[in-house]
C-alpha cells in the first residue's frame, strides 16, 4: 500500500526499533564497531563511514525525496561543498545568480582556486541559460524558489537542457522541502538541503542532506562523503529525524499564514514590492503551481528605503531578527547584511538585493498577531507618516 507524504513522515522502517520496540530511533554513539570475522566486516566498521542513527536519517530523506540514497552532513554548506567535489579541474558550473550567499562564496572564492569555472545566470530565463553553456559545462546548479527574491526556475526545463549536454542538475531544495517539491521526480540528479531550516524546523541544529537518484552518482557521493568526512553527528541526526515528523503540519500552517501576510503586505502603501510565488502577481506563479505543491513559507518585501527598513526592524516585536529561516518562530532577516553579506555590494545590487529588502520566514504564530505587529511597525515608517500627514492636511482643508 502506498502512503501519502504526510503518513510517510511517521510510518517508515525506523518507526519501531527492532531490538527494543522503542518508538524513537536509538542514538548510537559508537565511533567504531567490533568485527566478528577477520575476513568479512559487518555493515558498520567506523563512524565516519557509516553509523546507524545517521543511516536512519539518510534512508528517511532518500525515501521522502524519492531518491536511491541519502547522505547527512555537518551543515548545508558541507553537503553542498561535498557535492561540488564531484567536479574536476577544468569543469564549468552554471549557477543561479541569486544563489545562497555561502554557495556563492564556495563557488567564487574556493572552487576557482581548484580550476573549476562558473557562470552566474538568471536560471528563470532559459535563453540566457542556453547562451551560457560551454563545452566544459558539467553542472547546472539551481535554487528554486531563489533566495531572497523567490524567483522560480523550471526544474524540468533546466534538467532537460542539462541532460542534452551531458551535464548534471543539482537542486537546493531547502526552501520547499520534499513536502512541496520533489526535484528528482522533475529530472534533477541530486537534491541538496540545509536541514538546519524547515526539515528540522526548530532553530536548534545545523545539518545538511543530499539525495541522489542514480546509484552510480550515489556511490561517487558516498566515496566523497567518507573522503571529505564532514558527516553529521548522531545527536544532530536524531534532532533532524524528530523535526521531520512534524514537517507536513509545520509547513502547511506556515504556508497558510505566509499567503495571508503576503496579501496584507502587498496592499500596504509603505511596502514597495512583495516577492512571494503564491501571489498571482508573481512572475513565477504559474510555474510554481505546476512544479510544486505550494509556494512555501518564505517571502521577501521591499520598503521605500533603508531608513524605513531600520524603523520597521526596530519597531517589530514578534519575529526574531536573525539569520536563518524555516523555524517554528518567524524569522525576519536583512539579506544585504546577513545571508548575502558574502556577496560584493555591486553584485548584490545587480541581483536586486537592495538595502530596503527584508526576508520573512513565517513561523507558527497566529497570522493575525503577526499582521497586527507589522501594522504597528509600518505605521512608523516615513512613507506611512507622509501619507498620514497628507491625509490630515487634506482633512483640514475640508
Ligand atoms: C542556510 C542555507 C544553506 C546553507 O546551509 P547551512 O546549514 O547553514 O550550512 C544553503 N542553501 C540555502 C538555500 C540555505 O537557506
| pLDDT category of residue 340 using cuts at 50, 70 and 90 | confident
Please compute the mean of the pLDDT values over residues 363-368 and round it to a whole number.
98
The answer to which of 165-174, 178-187, 293-302, 385-394 has the lowest mean pLDDT is 385-394
In this structure, the residue with its CA closest to atom 8 of ligand 1 is 76
- Is residue 77 lining ligand 1, measured as CB closer than 6 Å? yes
| pLDDT category of residue 396 using cuts at 50, 70 and 90 | low
Share of the chain above pLDDT 70, in %: 98
Give residue 355's pLDDT.
Answer: 94
244 pLDDT above the threshold of 80: yes
Please compute the mean of the pLDDT values over residues 318-322 and round it to a whole number.
97
Question: Closest Cα to residue 188, out of 142, 228, 220, 148?
Answer: 142
Is position 100 annotated as part of the catalytic site?
Answer: yes
Is position 197 annotated as part of the catalytic site?
Answer: yes
Give me the domains of the chain, ranges plus CATH numbers: 5-244 (3.40.640.10), 247-397 (3.90.1150.10)
How many Å apart are CA 180 and CA 176, to the nearest integer? 5
- Is residue 75 lining ligand 1, measured as CB closer than 6 Å? yes
- Is residue 74 lining ligand 1, measured as CB closer than 6 Å? no
- Is residue 145 lining ligand 1, measured as CB closer than 6 Å? no
How many Å apart are CA 87 and CA 98, to the nearest integer? 21
Give residue 237's pLDDT.
Answer: 98
How many Å apart are CA 396 and CA 26, to the nearest integer? 71
User: What DSSP line would sit under 186-211, residue for residue?
Assistant: GT-SEEEEETTTTTT-SS----EEEE
Identify whether the C-beta of residue 87 lies closer than 8 Å to the C-beta of residue 96: no
CB contact set of 296 (below 8 Å; sequence gap of 6+): 145, 175, 176, 180, 251, 255, 258, 277, 278
Give pLDDT tens digits for 119-142: 999 999 999 999 999 999 999 999
Residue bearing cell 524555516: 326
Is position 114 annotated as part of the catalytic site?
Answer: no
398 pLDDT above the threshold of 70: no
Please compute the mean of the pLDDT values over residues 14-34 and round it to a whole number.
95
What does the block give as the cell for 296? 512555501
CB contact set of 375 (below 8 Å; sequence gap of 6+): none
Q: Is residue 192 classed exposed, middle or buried when 0-12, 13-18 and 19+ CB atoms within 10 A define those classes?
A: buried
Please compute the mean of the pLDDT values over residues 354-378 and round it to a whole number.
97
Ligand 1 center to 76 CA (angstroms) = 5
How many Å apart are CA 247 and CA 177, to the nearest integer? 9
Atom index in ligand 1 nearest the CA of residue 78 equals 9
- Is residue 196 lining ligand 1, measured as CB closer than 6 Å? yes
Among 8, 48, 245, 273, the active-site one is 48
Atom index in ligand 1 nearest the CA of residue 80 equals 10
Give residue 395's pLDDT.
Answer: 58
Give pLDDT tens digits for 175-219: 999 999 999 999 999 999 999 999 999 999 999 999 999 999 999
Among 98, 172, 236, 308, the active-site one is 172
Whole-number average pLDDT of the chain = 95
Please compute the mean of the pLDDT values over residues 243-259 and round it to a whole number.
98
Ligand 1 center to 77 CA (angstroms) = 6
Ligand 1 center to 248 CA (angstroms) = 20
89 pLDDT above the threshold of 80: yes
Give pLDDT tens digits for 269-310: 999 999 999 999 999 999 999 999 999 999 999 999 999 999
Please compute the mean of the pLDDT values over residues 339-350 and round it to a whole number.
84
In this structure, the residue with its CA closest to atom 5 of ligand 1 is 76
User: What DSSP line would sit under 21-62, residue for residue?
Assistant: --SS------SB---S-SS---S-SBTTT--HHHHHHHHHHH
384 pLDDT above the threshold of 80: no
Q: What is the Rg, in whole angstroms, of the alpha carbon atoms belonging to the chain? A: 22
DSSP assignment, residue 233? P
- Is residue 174 lining ligand 1, measured as CB closer than 6 Å? yes
Question: Closest Cα to residue 81, out of 100, 56, 64?
Answer: 100
Ligand 1 center to 251 CA (angstroms) = 18
Amino acid at each position: 500500500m502506498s502512503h501519502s507524504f504526510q503518513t510517510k513522515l511517521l510510518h517508515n522502517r525506523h518507526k519501531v526499533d527492532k531490538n527494543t520496540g522503542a518508538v524513537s530511533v536509538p542514538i548510537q554513539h559508537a565511533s567504531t564497531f567490533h568485527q566478528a570475522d577477520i575476513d568479512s566486516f559487518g555493515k558498520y566498521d567506523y563512524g565516519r563511514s557509516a553509523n546507524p542513527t545517521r543511516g536512519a536519517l539518510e534512508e528517511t530523506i532518500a525515501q521522502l525525496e524519492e531518491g536511491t540514497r541519502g547522505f547527512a552532513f555537518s551543515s548545508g554548506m558541507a553537503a553542498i561543498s561535498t557535492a561540488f567535489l564531484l567536479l574536476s579541474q577544468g569543469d564549468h558550473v552554471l549557477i543561479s545568480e541569486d544563489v545562497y550567499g555561502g554557495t556563492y562564496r564556495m563557488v567564487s572564492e574556493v572552487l576557482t582556486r581548484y580550476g573549476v569555472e562558473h557562470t552566474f545566470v538568471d536560471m528563470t530565463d532559459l535563453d540566457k541559460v542556453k547562451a551560457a553553456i560551454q563545452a566544459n559545462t558539467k553542472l547546472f546548479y539551481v535554487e528554486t524558489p531563489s533566495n531572497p527574491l523567490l524567483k522560480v526556475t523550471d526544474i524540468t526545463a533546466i534538467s532537460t537542457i542539462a541532460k542534452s549536454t551531458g551535464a548534471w542538475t543539482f537542486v537546493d531544495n531547502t526552501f520547499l522541502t520534499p513536502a512541496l517539491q520533489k526535484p528528482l521526480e522533475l529530472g534533477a540528479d541530486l537534491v541538496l538541503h540545509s536541514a538546519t531550516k524547515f526539515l528540522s524546523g526548530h532553530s536548534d541544529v545545523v545539518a545538511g542532506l543530499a539525495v541522489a537518484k542514480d546509484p552510480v552518482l550515489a556511490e561517487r557521493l558516498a566515496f566523497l562523503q567518507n573522503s571529505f568526512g564532514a558527516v553529521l553527528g548522531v545527536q544532530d541526526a536524531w534532532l533532524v529525524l524528530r523535526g521531520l515528523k512534524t514537517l507536513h503540519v509545520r509547513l502547511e500552517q506556515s504556508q497558510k499564514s505566509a499567503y495571508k501576510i503576503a496579501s496584507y503586505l502587498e496592499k500596504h502603501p509603505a511596502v514597495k514590492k512583495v516577492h512571494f510565488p503564491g501571489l498571482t502577481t508573481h512572475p513565477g506563479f504559474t510555474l510554481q503551481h505546476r512544479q510544486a505543491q505550494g509556494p512555501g513559507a518564505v517571502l521577501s518585501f521591499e520598503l521605500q528605503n533603508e531608513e524605513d527598513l531600520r524603523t520597521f526592524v526596530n519597531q517589530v516585536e514578534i519575529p526574531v531578527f536573525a539569520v536563518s529561516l524555516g523555524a517554528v518562530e518567524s524569522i525576519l532577516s536583512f539579506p544585504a547584511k546577513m545571508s548575502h553579506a558574502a556577496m560584493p555590494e555591486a553584485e548584490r545590487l545587480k541581483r536586486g538585493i537592495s538595502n530596503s529588502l527584508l526576508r520573512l520566514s513565517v513561523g507558527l504564530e497566529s497570522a493575525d498577531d503577526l499582521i497586527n505587529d507589522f501594522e504597528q511597525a509600518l505605521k512608523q515608517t516615513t512613507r506611512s507618516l507622509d501619507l498620514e500627514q497628507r491625509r490630515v492636511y487634506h482633512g483640514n482643508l475640508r
